[in-house]
């Protein structure tokens, strides 16, 4: 077929697909390019929330039985949408988020017992913002900080190498002054920092080494992070 015939056939095909001999396709009665983006879908009920990794996983429903009770507590925690009420959100008829975190923080305070750590680190009564002597409210300070389950970032700081730095400043009453942005990056070993803080508070972190964790779960932080999309390496 000659080039001239091919062009003529293409013109006929386009005219048959278009409207009134034009080459614009109107599948929906209008010019799709001119319609723009559709409106965003309406949001339904909140089903999940997560600011700091592991908080809801290990501190909500930890000792609840049967498994359905554990699920119910986590669901109530995740459905809470008013940040001002997160601390007082009721997980059960007589159990608030604050009381649930207090009870489970006591469990993790014992995590460092028997470990080969400095004497100032290992033991009970040294968890995040612990208040002695032992009482029902000893873990209230830590519970109140963690119940506000969102990441805090100081955007005036250019470096973000310390996970939970702003929370640590709050827990120390201002004696630890943050000089990084806080927040969380993909290279933070968030789980090890969390375990260290829950078990031993600020003593669980190496202040001379960017507040690195002293307790470890044996799983390294992500090392295959990229500066360009897709940012993460292959699944492993």
H/E stretch holding 95: strand 95-96
Token digits of residue 51 = 């600011």
pLDDT (0 to 100) of residue 162: 95
Is the CB of residue 132 less than 8 Å from the CB of residue 116? no
Choose among 59, 225, 22, 226: nearest CA to 142. Answer: 59
Token digits of residue 66 = 């049967």
Residue 151 inside a domain? The answer is yes
Split into its structural domains, the chain has a count of: 1
pLDDT (0 to 100) of residue 186: 86
Residue 40 inside a domain? The answer is no
Residue 142 inside a domain? The answer is yes
pLDDT (0 to 100) of residue 123: 73
Is the CB of residue 130 less than 8 Å from the CB of residue 138? yes
The whole domain housing 207 covers 55-213
Residue 119 inside a domain? The answer is yes
- State pLDDT tens for residues 12-66: 344 444 444 444 444 555 555 567 888 999 989 899 888 999 999 999 999 999 9
Q: Rounded distance, CA 144 to CA 1, Å? A: 79
Residue 45 inside a domain? The answer is no
pLDDT (0 to 100) of residue 19: 47
Choose among 214, 175, 170, 179: nearest CA to 193. Answer: 214
Instruction: Give the residues of the chain that fall short of pLDDT 70.
Output: 1-34, 114-122, 236
Considering the entire predicted model, what is its pTM?
Answer: 0.77
Residue 48 inside a domain? The answer is no
Token digits of residue 207 = 């202040």
Q: Calculate ∠ Cα 114-108-187, nearest 5°.
A: 100
Residue 93 inside a domain? The answer is yes
Is the CB of residue 79 less than 8 Å from the CB of residue 62? no
């Amino acid at each position: 077929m000659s080039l001239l015939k091919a062009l003529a056939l293409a013109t006929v095909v386009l005219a048959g697909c278009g409207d009134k001999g034009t080459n614009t396709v109107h599948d929906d009665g209008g010019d799709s390019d001119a319609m723009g983006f559709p409106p965003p879908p309406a949001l339904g009920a909140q089903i999940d929330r997560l600011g700091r990794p592991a908080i809801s996983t290990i501190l909500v429903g930890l000792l609840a039985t049967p498994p359905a009770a554990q699920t119910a507590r986590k669901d109530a925690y995740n459905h809470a949408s008013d940040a001002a009420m997160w601390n007082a959100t009721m997980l059960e008829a007589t159990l608030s988020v604050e009381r649930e975190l207090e009870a489970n923080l006591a469990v993790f305070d014992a995590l460092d017992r028997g470990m080969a750590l400095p004497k100032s680190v290992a033991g009970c009564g040294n968890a995040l913002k612990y208040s002695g002597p032992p009482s029902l409210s000893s873990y209230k300070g830590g519970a109140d900080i963690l119940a506000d389950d969102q990441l805090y970032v100081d955007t005036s700081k250019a470096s973000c190498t310390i996970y939970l730095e702003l929370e640590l400043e709050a827990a120390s009453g201002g004696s630890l002054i943050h000089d990084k942005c806080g927040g969380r990056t993909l290279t933070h070993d968030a789980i090890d920092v969390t375990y260290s803080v829950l078990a031993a508070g600020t003593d669980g972190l190496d202040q001379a080494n960017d507040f690195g964790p002293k307790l470890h779960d044996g799983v390294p932080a992500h090392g295959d992070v990229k500066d360009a999309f897709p940012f993460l390496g292959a699944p492993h």
